[in-house]
Amino acid sequence: MKVEGGCYCGAVRYAVDGEPMFNGQCHCRECQYISGGSPNVLVAVAETGVKYIKGAPKVFKRGDLANPVTREFCAECGTHLISRPPSMAGVAIIKLGTLDDPNAFGSPRMAVYMVDKQPFHQVPEGMATFERLPG
Closest approach, Cβ 84 to Zn ion, in A, equals 13
Rounded to a whole number of angstroms, the minimum distance from the CB of residue 35 to Zn ion is 9
Task: Give 50 or 74: the residue with its C-beta nearer to Zn ion.
Answer: 74
* Least distance CB 30 / Zn ion (angstroms): 5
Interatomic CA distance for residues 58 and 72, integer angstroms: 6
Contacting positions for Zn ion (CB under 5 A): 7, 9, 11, 26, 28, 31, 74, 76-77
Query: Please, which residue, 26 or 44, has the CB nearer to Zn ion?
Result: 26
Q: What is the DSSP code string of 1-62?
A: -EEEEE-SSSS-EEEEES--SEEEEE--HHHHHHHSSSPEEEEEEEGGGEEEEES--EEE--
